[in-house]
Amino acid sequence: MTKLIAIAALTIGATILGTNNVQAQNTTATTTVNITLNDVISIDAGSTAIGNTVDFNYATAADYNSDQTITKANSLKVTSTKNFNVKVKAGGANFMNGTNLIPVNVLTIKAAAASGTMGGTKNSVVLSATDQNLVTNAPLGSALTLNLDYTIPAAKSSSSDILGKPAGTYTQTVTYTATAL
């Protein structure tokens, strides 16, 4: 009898522990992924035109009698989701040193020979207080760079626009604006 109870107990135990209930299992899962896009145009950090200076120094006769060009790498770094234009203008009609004035049209701004990664049509701009197209129809892209040449030609530095002005530092702001097309 003990043998029968032991066999019965083992049979019940094996049935309880050994039963394998097979239930339906999920073999696929579905998730929705959304990508929300917004139009963006930005002159990015890392643009040397942000908070930087361009310094021309006229210390010798040769300086006044020759073109002076200062090249600024990464002057502008633009990210845009659409083609765009870049405009430039001066903050006023003159470089100023107190009441002493030099007209802003002594300065020409244009893309450097190694202009960077920004495409589009690049123009040479004689600075004025009115917006002018520096780059037109630049293709969209991320962190597109534009290296700029700032030039004061000898014809301006050896003219009354600059000659005869009191010594000192003449200052004016230059503003660049990127606009999506």
Which pLDDT score, from 0 to 100, does residue 8 have? 53
pLDDT tens sequence across 17-34: 555 555 668 788 899 999
Q: Which residues contact residue 31 at a Cβ distance below 8 angstroms, ignoring those fewer than 6 apart?
A: none
Q: Which residues contact residue 97 at a Cβ distance below 8 angstroms, ignoring those fewer than 6 apart?
A: 165, 166, 168, 169, 170, 171
H or E element, residue 16: helix 2-18
Q: How many whole angstroms separate alpha carbon 75 and alpha carbon 43?
A: 10
pLDDT tens sequence across 75-116: 999 999 999 999 999 999 999 999 999 999 999 999 999 999
The pLDDT of 70-78, averaged and rounded, is 96
Measuring CA to CA, which residue among 143, 150, 137 is closest to residue 87?
137
Which pLDDT score, from 0 to 100, does residue 27 have? 85
Which pLDDT score, from 0 to 100, does residue 128 have? 97
> What's the mean per-residue pLDDT of the chain?
90
